[in-house]
């Protein structure tokens, strides 16, 4: 039995973030599906793992964690000797990488998540897309991607000179947006476009997508 | 001349977060006011410090940082021997604290910031408060504070058994909300109420408020 457990749903971007991290680190884990359609994530046995009732929740032995980026940072630091090195040993490089992890969390993700909801989730559920929300957030995304373009013109990866959590955290939402009209905002910026192509081509990410396809 | 510089505005909650951290750590720093009314944060010399054009930006020698929570974590780790210890040395405690830092950033702050805008900023600027946004976010805040109440019934502080960044990150937004109708949501929960009273009474926070009063 694997010591680590991910309680989540393969269609949840936050779950995918943690699973991609575990695969990059070449760690054994057990995936425990949470049936969100039946509201399992709002029931007591799940709320004991995450009081906010959101996937994923994570266990490593008796340590119980939630919040996807706290989980990936735990894995990155505690299992630094395994698989892909997703953090920097050098404190200054690590500090700069931490800035770009915050950028993903506070500048990119809120905008990308709203666009994903309007342009991917709502159409799938037969709901009406709010054009005003799309317009407002596409403008915001374009500004963020302008800054990413400048960053990636100077650095091969978002966090510095190697693939790290600062890139990995983007994977699930970038994947969603590349299936929408927002793809053009990525494609029109050469460095952003090359970065997207490279991170989406990682074998770990192919395995995450395969989990969705097999579901 | 102080080696550290904070470029910011004393009325910005993100700036206050960084200044409170520096005061807790008893570190010398230079405060460089950014005149946001004249749009200084969108001009080239500031965009060199933070391409997103948001305060604060931070310099420590030749290291340039932005994103308030990346700055506080840098200060907490690099200056761990100075002033208040705002992080845990114990890796397991530090991991749990990191979860609650993510909770502040992703569960508390988005809701608290929307309420602060509607109930504090808009009235000050003579703009009309959106009652629907207030209602929706007060309901969300109540749910978050229910979870905080349970957390604080088991732990004196948000991150564990000592005051850490997981508490400090809340200070600016809690201060704003305590001056609005949302105060009742904090006051009606005994553990949350005691926690707010204690963290808001820290001498470091009084110094941050004094900077506002003197401005």
Give pLDDT, residue B214: 81
A110 CB near a chain B CB, below 8 Å?
A: yes
Give pLDDT, residue B114: 97
Residue in chain A lying closest to B66 (CA): A99
* All structural domains of chain A: 4-85 (3.40.30.10), 91-205 (1.20.1050.10)
User: Do B51 and A92 count as a contact with CB atoms less than 8 A apart?
Assistant: no
CA A141 to chain B, closest CA, distance in angstroms equals: 12
CA B214 to chain A, closest CA, distance in angstroms equals: 31
Average pLDDT on A194-208 reads 98
Confidence class for position A215, pLDDT limits 50, 70, 90: confident
Roughly how many angstroms between the first and final C-alpha of chain A, as a whole number?
Answer: 22
B98 CB near a chain A CB, below 8 Å?
A: yes
Is the Cβ–Cβ distance between B12 and B193 less than 8 Å? no
Of the residues B48, B58, B87, B95, the best mutation for testing chain A's interface (the one with the most A CB atoms within 10 Å of its CB) is B95
Chain A residues whose beta carbon lies within 8 Å of the beta carbon of residue B150: 51
User: Do A95 and B63 count as a contact with CB atoms less than 8 A apart?
Assistant: yes
How many CB pairs lie under 8 A apart between chains A and B?
A: 60
With 90 as the cut, is the pLDDT of residue A186 above it? yes
Instruction: Provide the pairing of β-strand A4-8 with A57-60.
Output: antiparallel
Q: Return the SS3 of A122.
A: helix
Give the one of B63, B147, B151 whose C-beta lies nearest to A92's C-beta: B63
Distance CA A176, CA A115 (A): 9
Give pLDDT, residue B2: 65
User: Do A102 and B74 count as a contact with CB atoms less than 8 A apart?
Assistant: no
Q: Return the SS3 of B150.
A: helix
Six token digits for residue B111: 């809701």
Of the residues A4, A44, A61, A99, the best mutation for testing chain B's interface (the one with the most B CB atoms within 10 Å of its CB) is A99
Distance CA B174, CA B179 (A): 9
Residues of chain B whose pLDDT is less than 70?
A: 1-2
Is the Cβ–Cβ distance between A59 and A49 less than 8 Å? yes
CA A144 to chain B, closest CA, distance in angstroms equals: 8
Number of neighbouring beta carbons within 10 Å of residue A33? 14
With 90 as the cut, is the pLDDT of residue A74 above it? yes
Q: Which of B102, B141, B92 is nearest to A67 (CA)?
A: B102
With 90 as the cut, is the pLDDT of residue A202 above it? yes
* Cβ contacts of B188 within 8 Å, gap of 6 or more: none
pTM score of the predicted model: 0.96
């Amino acid at each position: 039995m694997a010591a680590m457990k991910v309680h989540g749903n393969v269609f949840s971007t936050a779950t995918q973030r943690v699973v991609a991290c575990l695969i990059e680190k070449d760690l054994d884990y057990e995936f425990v599906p949470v049936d969100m359609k039946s509201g399992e994530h709002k029931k007591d046995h799940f709320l004991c793992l995450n009081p906010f009732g959101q996937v994923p929740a994570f266990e490593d032995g008796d340590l119980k964690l939630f919040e996807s980026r706290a989980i990936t940072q735990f894995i990155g630091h505690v299992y630094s000797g395994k698989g892909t090195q997703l953090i920097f040993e050098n404190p200054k490089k690590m500090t700069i990488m931490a800035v770009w992890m915050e950028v993903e969390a506070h500048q990119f993700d809120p905008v990308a998540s709203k666009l994903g909801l309007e342009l991917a989730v709502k159409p799938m559920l037969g709901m009406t897309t709010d054009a005003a929300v799309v317009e407002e957030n596409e403008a915001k995304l374009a500004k963020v991607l302008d800054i990413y373009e400048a960053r990636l013109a100077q650095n091969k990866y978002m966090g510095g000179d190697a693939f790290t959590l600062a890139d990995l955290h983007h994977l699930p939402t970038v994947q969603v947006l590349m299936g929408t009209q927002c793809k053009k905002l990525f494609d029109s910026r050469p460095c952003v476009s090359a970065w997207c192509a490279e991170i989406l081509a990682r074998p770990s990410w192919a395995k995450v997508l395969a989990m969705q396809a097999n579901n």
